[in-house]
Chain A
Amino acid sequence: MLKNSRLAVALATAGIAVSAALAGCSSSGGNGAGPSTVVTSGGHSAAAFPVTIDAANGSVTLDRQPSAIVSLSPTATEMLFAIGAGDQVKAVDKNSDYPAEAPKTDLDAYQLNAEAVAGYRPDLIISAGLTPAQMKQLTALHIPVLDEPAAQNLDGTYDQLAQLGQATGHEDEAAAEVTDLKAQIAQVTKTVAASGPHSYYYELDQTYYSVTSTGTFIGQVLATLGLHSIADAAKGAAASGGYPQLSQEYILNSDPDYVFLADTKCCKQTPESVAKRPGWPKMSAVQDGRIVALDDDIASRWGPRIVDLMKTVAQAIQEHPTA
């Protein structure tokens, strides 16, 4: 009985914040933002193999160009297809819903069954933040694992693209993708450069978990658009690993310039539903229509589509400027 209530408390607490963890958990280990080891060669071909990649889980050597990749990371899946390695992908996990042609399976990266992964006979497994125990188990199968945990910032994204390019024999496409992303981001940043610093409340779920500007990937991305989170000033925000749980009173009292909803899919939130919350209509962002609905999936990944999210935000700033 006693253990029941104990577990219940644990479950409730965990349940409350799982979406927060989902929305951008950065693994406690490496951050994929290490120095890129990719050297662009004349062309991309199997001749470049064997390659050794300095990944978050140590150095990984691939003897041949992989042709049966299993991706357990939605972000890595997006990256692989963006750099033209999609044909080499044999299976992706059930959360890898983009692009549509990705070979989606029932594999669950969070409740991982190593045997089911092995069943696809992969010659490369790409993950995002495996636990040491999971890593040990996959190692026993003698299948190379490339761990690409949540990036800390945009440089981390660029590094992971380069690493995946190297691992799949698509170094040139990866380099081109990085160049293109940088150009697009510079373009977006320019459009809002003049509109000055703005504050925002970023909503991860219905219990008001939020993000800080410096401790999270999404916070740093938004910071390049001149935005800073109201969570930065919240007590204990840094200690929470960048994902503090805010009280409604704090949010209302901060009266942010913009409200970003990253819980439109998970929790069916809309600018209209936010406007109906008790007390919230008093906020100027609600009154002046400065609530921006974001795609949860894009917002919680660190892949190439982050530039789409930046465009959405920049457009909202231009269309609904602060007074």
Chain B
Amino acid sequence: MTSRAAATAVPRARRGSHPARIPVTVSAALLLGAMVLAVAIGPVREPLGSVVGTVLAHLPLIGYHTSTTPLDQAIVWDLRLPRVALAALVGAMLSAGGASYQGVFRNSLADPYLLGAAAGAGLGATIAIVAGGRGSLVLPAAAFAGAVVAVTMTYVVAAAGAGRSAGYAIVVAGIAVTGMFTAVQTYLQQQNTDEIRQIYNWLLGSFSVATWADVRLVLPYLAVSAGVLLAHRRILDVLRVGPDEAGALGIHPERTRLIIVGAATLGTAAAVSVSGLIGFVGVIVPHAVRLLAGASYRIVLPVSMLGGAAFMVLADLLARTVQSPTELPIGVVTAAIGAPFFLFVLRSRRTRQGVL
């Protein structure tokens, strides 16, 4: 929603010549279709009429009454819808985060976990599980804190290597911080075999326990993060060319990088805190958008958000229906689709230089 508003806010859109208009419309339609499909299908067969009736009955100001049983209403409204909404939000955020990191670090393999967000969140979540925090808010809070701490550490460690090589120093520091946090996390996990399944499931990522409370919990962070990133889409286009060119245009590369990375990290941490670690989305979605729609960040950012949301909704639909009633970890689905696609992108990059 944020992206559509922002896309139309681009002045030139009014003159009807904005290059993002068609891809944004198409990806928005794709997302809408994916969401309708995902709400309609599930392990329990719910007639389309009762699905629509349930949704209408829960919307405010309509006053619609449905004859669907309370349990069937709960299945649609309390289990399926929050799941679809959360998948869309997380998919949009990881894709936007990945796209931004790729631009800021001029590295096409960058994903939102590059600076240690995943390892930090993993350690935070593991500590929460091992410590036996029973509240349903403890785990997301710990994962969020872990991600923010890890990325902050990466930044502080790399601060010494400022200047032209700052981007490089940050990436290397991210690798070191990731390694360290992962080591501690693995140690804790090995010491607490009782909780290993819970930790393991969290690491693989899932929307199987999504509730409306999770949606409400992350929405503010994602809105702020997405807004900041979208506002920087033109600057990302300049940074993509190089820090010198950015400087020549009066953009302060380091400060801008800090803002963009900060926003992307905040959003990624919020996403990870409610979904666990879901790989590949942040890498493959922006690349797919570049291949299909163009490399300008005025296209890549909004279309990655909408397309990433649609991709995640569909991946989650597969995760809960392929082996129904058993859940498949969504990380398995995104990786199974993502890995081959990733190889394809790498291959085509060799022949078509300059995709990024």
Complex CA gap A240/B185 in Å reads 15
Closest to A241 in B: B194
Whether A174 sits at the interface, judged by CB under 8 Å, is no
Number of interface residues of A (CB under 8 A): 56
Q: Of the 9-residue stretches A20-28, A155-163, A165-173, A285-293, which lies at the interface with chain B?
A: A20-28
Contact B326 A108 (CB under 8 A): yes
Could you tell me which residues of chain B, from 177 to 206, have a CB within 8 Å of some CB in chain A? 178-179, 182, 185-186, 189-201, 203
Contact B325 A105 (CB under 8 A): yes
| A13-B186 CB under 8 A given contacts A7-B277, A28-B132, A142-B70 | yes
Contact with B along A1-28 (1 / 0, CB 8 A): 1111011011101100110111001111
Closest to B321 in A: A113
Instruction: State which of B75, B191, B198, B203 has its C-beta within 8 Å of the C-beta of A115.
Output: B75
Could you tell me which residues of chain A, from 19 to 51, have a CB within 8 Å of some CB in chain B? 20-22, 25-29
Whether A281 sits at the interface, judged by CB under 8 Å, is no
Whether A209 sits at the interface, judged by CB under 8 Å, is yes
Contact A113 B209 (CB under 8 A): no
Complex CA gap A25/B211 in Å reads 26
Contact with A along B209-238 (1 / 0, CB 8 A): 111010000000000000000000000000
Q: Of the 9-residue stretches A133-141, A248-256, A272-280, A313-321, which lies at the interface with chain B?
A: A133-141
Closest to B339 in A: A4
**In the complex, what residues of A have CB within 8 A of residue B327's CB?**
108, 111-113
Interface size class of B (residues with CB under 8 A): 35 or more
Instruction: State which of B74, B198, B331 has its C-beta within 8 Å of the C-beta of A140.
Output: B74
Whether A107 sits at the interface, judged by CB under 8 Å, is yes
Contact B44 A6 (CB under 8 A): no
**In the complex, what residues of A have CB within 8 A of residue B138's CB?**
132
Whether A101 sits at the interface, judged by CB under 8 Å, is no
Complex CA gap A208/B102 in Å reads 44
Contact B209 A137 (CB under 8 A): yes
**In the complex, what residues of B have CB within 8 A of residue A11's CB?**
200, 203
Contact B189 A10 (CB under 8 A): yes
**In the complex, what residues of B have CB within 8 A of residue A3's CB?**
111, 113, 118, 178, 277, 279
| A240-B192 CB under 8 A given contacts A113-B326, A118-B75 | yes
Measuring CB to CB, which residues of chain B are less than 8 angstroms from any residue of chain A?
42-44, 70-71, 74-75, 78-80, 109, 111, 113-114, 118-119, 122, 129-130, 132, 134-136, 138-139, 175, 178-179, 182, 185-186, 189-201, 203, 208-211, 213, 277, 279, 320, 324-329, 331
Seed contacts A14-B189, A115-B43, A115-B325; 13 additional CB < 8 Å A-B pairs: A2-B175, A4-B279, A13-B190, A94-B326, A110-B201, A113-B324, A114-B209, A118-B71, A118-B75, A132-B135, A132-B139, A141-B75, A245-B190
